Amino acid sequence: MGDVNTLVGRGSHFEGKMTFEGVVRIDGSYSGEIVSDDTLIIGEGAEVRAELDVATVVIYGIVYGNIRASNCVELHAPGHLIGNIVAPQLVVERGAVFDGQCRMGVDAWEAADADPDVSDEGL
């Protein structure tokens, strides 16, 4: 991972649709939608309530929402994800919590492209 281009700091709250290039780190709270072909880091203490469509997401905080990742989802302790995942790779560290469904592999990604609601199943 490269250097962080943008930081949403602790105590900050943003709502809406975020698109970005490079690496973005959220340490505050965010609600809405996040779309990028790059890396999103959800820092410890952060709370994100959003639909995520990114290349890579690294989670240390709390995420409520579905994730479509073209590269990888990493869930690190004490991270907590409540939502569904469509991604070719998933890393879950001991101590992290994942409450949802996961679809992996090329077939899952193609199915999600064909049917945008595929990542909403079970929520």
The pLDDT value recorded for residue 2 is 64
* Position 114 pLDDT exceeds 80: no
The pLDDT value recorded for residue 53 is 98
∠ CA(14), CA(2), CA(101), 5° rounding?
Answer: 60
**1-43 confidence digits (pLDDT tens):** 667 777 788 989 999 999 999 999 999 999 999 999 999 999 9
What average pLDDT does the segment 68-83 reach?
97
Identify which of 50, 8, 11, 10 has the alpha carbon closest to the alpha carbon of residue 25: 8
pTM of the model as a whole? 0.85
